[in-house]
Amino acid sequence: MAGARPGSEPDVAPVTESTARPAPPAPAPAEPDRTIDVRGLACPIPVARTAQAVAALRSGHVLEVLATDPDAELDVRAWATRSGDEVLSVETSDEVVRLLVRRRP
Protein backbone atom coordinates (compact mmCIF):
# COMPACT_ATOMS: atom_id res chain seq x y z
CA MET A 1 0.00 0.00 0.00
CA ALA A 2 1.42 3.43 -0.86
CA GLY A 3 2.72 5.32 2.18
CA ALA A 4 2.73 2.27 4.45
CA ARG A 5 6.04 1.22 5.95
CA PRO A 6 7.03 -2.40 5.41
CA GLY A 7 5.78 -4.50 8.31
CA SER A 8 3.35 -1.85 9.54
CA GLU A 9 -0.39 -1.73 9.38
CA PRO A 10 -1.89 0.68 6.81
CA ASP A 11 -3.48 3.82 8.19
CA VAL A 12 -7.12 2.99 8.79
CA ALA A 13 -9.52 5.14 10.76
CA PRO A 14 -11.12 3.26 13.63
CA VAL A 15 -14.85 2.66 13.42
CA THR A 16 -16.63 4.90 15.87
CA GLU A 17 -20.25 5.74 16.49
CA SER A 18 -19.92 8.75 14.21
CA THR A 19 -18.52 6.69 11.29
CA ALA A 20 -20.54 3.50 11.78
CA ARG A 21 -23.56 3.06 9.56
CA PRO A 22 -26.88 2.73 11.36
CA ALA A 23 -28.69 -0.57 11.06
CA PRO A 24 -31.41 -0.53 8.43
CA PRO A 25 -34.93 -0.27 9.81
CA ALA A 26 -36.77 -3.53 10.33
CA PRO A 27 -39.17 -4.28 7.49
CA ALA A 28 -42.78 -3.50 8.25
CA PRO A 29 -44.93 -6.58 8.83
CA ALA A 30 -46.84 -7.69 5.78
CA GLU A 31 -50.49 -6.79 5.38
CA PRO A 32 -52.69 -9.81 6.05
CA ASP A 33 -54.51 -11.52 3.20
CA ARG A 34 -57.01 -13.05 5.63
CA THR A 35 -57.95 -12.65 9.30
CA ILE A 36 -59.33 -15.18 11.75
CA ASP A 37 -60.77 -14.21 15.11
CA VAL A 38 -60.31 -16.91 17.74
CA ARG A 39 -60.76 -14.63 20.75
CA GLY A 40 -62.46 -16.39 23.63
CA LEU A 41 -61.41 -19.85 22.43
CA ALA A 42 -58.96 -22.03 24.37
CA CYS A 43 -56.26 -24.45 23.29
CA PRO A 44 -56.20 -26.33 20.99
CA ILE A 45 -58.82 -24.44 18.97
CA PRO A 46 -56.73 -21.30 18.13
CA VAL A 47 -53.80 -23.28 16.73
CA ALA A 48 -56.07 -25.77 14.94
CA ARG A 49 -58.00 -22.98 13.21
CA THR A 50 -54.73 -21.20 12.40
CA ALA A 51 -53.42 -24.37 10.72
CA GLN A 52 -56.63 -24.75 8.70
CA ALA A 53 -56.64 -21.11 7.62
CA VAL A 54 -52.96 -21.10 6.61
CA ALA A 55 -53.46 -24.32 4.62
CA ALA A 56 -56.14 -22.50 2.60
CA LEU A 57 -53.78 -19.62 1.73
CA ARG A 58 -51.52 -19.42 -1.29
CA SER A 59 -47.80 -19.73 -0.74
CA GLY A 60 -46.36 -16.49 0.69
CA HIS A 61 -49.73 -15.10 1.77
CA VAL A 62 -50.22 -13.83 5.31
CA LEU A 63 -52.81 -14.73 7.93
CA GLU A 64 -53.72 -12.45 10.83
CA VAL A 65 -54.77 -14.31 14.00
CA LEU A 66 -56.57 -12.52 16.86
CA ALA A 67 -56.56 -14.57 20.07
CA THR A 68 -57.05 -14.20 23.82
CA ASP A 69 -55.71 -17.63 24.82
CA PRO A 70 -52.53 -16.87 26.84
CA ASP A 71 -50.79 -19.84 25.17
CA ALA A 72 -51.73 -18.89 21.61
CA GLU A 73 -48.34 -17.35 20.79
CA LEU A 74 -46.35 -20.36 22.03
CA ASP A 75 -48.74 -22.83 20.38
CA VAL A 76 -48.74 -21.06 17.01
CA ARG A 77 -44.94 -20.65 17.06
CA ALA A 78 -44.48 -24.37 17.80
CA TRP A 79 -46.92 -25.32 15.04
CA ALA A 80 -45.21 -22.95 12.55
CA THR A 81 -41.82 -24.47 13.32
CA ARG A 82 -43.14 -27.96 12.58
CA SER A 83 -45.10 -26.92 9.47
CA GLY A 84 -42.40 -24.71 7.94
CA ASP A 85 -44.60 -21.61 8.04
CA GLU A 86 -43.31 -18.33 9.52
CA VAL A 87 -44.56 -16.18 12.38
CA LEU A 88 -43.80 -12.66 11.14
CA SER A 89 -44.88 -10.69 14.18
CA VAL A 90 -46.65 -10.88 17.50
CA GLU A 91 -48.30 -7.93 19.23
CA THR A 92 -50.21 -7.96 22.49
CA SER A 93 -52.69 -5.26 23.45
CA ASP A 94 -55.46 -5.38 26.05
CA GLU A 95 -55.09 -9.16 26.44
CA VAL A 96 -55.50 -9.71 22.68
CA VAL A 97 -52.62 -11.36 20.87
CA ARG A 98 -52.25 -10.46 17.17
CA LEU A 99 -50.07 -12.82 15.17
CA LEU A 100 -49.10 -12.54 11.52
CA VAL A 101 -48.26 -15.89 9.94
CA ARG A 102 -46.86 -16.33 6.41
CA ARG A 103 -47.53 -19.56 4.52
CA ARG A 104 -44.35 -21.30 3.51
CA PRO A 105 -43.12 -20.79 -0.04
Q: Are 99 and 89 in contact (CB under 8 A)?
A: yes
In a domain, 22, yes or no: no
Q: Which residues of 12-24 are buried (b: 16+ CB within 10 A; e: fewer)?
A: eeeeeeeeeeeee
* 92 flagged as catalytic: no
Quote the domain boundaries for residue 42: 34-102
Number of domains in the chain: 1
**51-65 pLDDT, tens per residue?**
999 999 999 999 999
- Which residue out of 29, 33, 39, 43 is catalytically annotated? 43
Residue 85 maps to which CATH number? 3.30.110.40
In a domain, 89, yes or no: yes
**76-98 pLDDT, tens per residue?**
999 999 999 999 999 999 999 99
Give the pTM: 0.73
